[in-house]
Amino acid sequence: MDSEITTGNLGRPSVVFDEREVAQLLRAAVERDGGQTAFAKRRGADRTRINRVLSGKERAGDAIAKALGLRKVYVAE
């Protein structure tokens, strides 16, 4: 591998959300869809899981991220 590789052309611009912000996005999407049941049916998600995420009892996982049109990535701090 070339030791002079620069990162100038690698990666892509991104917006990073933390768990609290994903819950806010979920809450807004649920309200737009007319409630948790409507959101779950429309997006193929589990309503009880949505409820647990919105109540802070559980973290949003891959299925909820996908339902929101997001994808999970890892960021080194």
Residues 6+ apart with CB under 8 A from 73: 14, 16
Q: Residue 40 pLDDT > 60, yes or no?
A: yes
Among 32, 33, 50, 31, smallest CA distance to 42 is for 33
Q: Residue 41 pLDDT > 70, yes or no?
A: yes
Global pTM reads: 0.79
Higher local confidence (pLDDT), 2 or 56: 56
pLDDT band at 14 (very low <50, low <70, confident <90, very high): confident
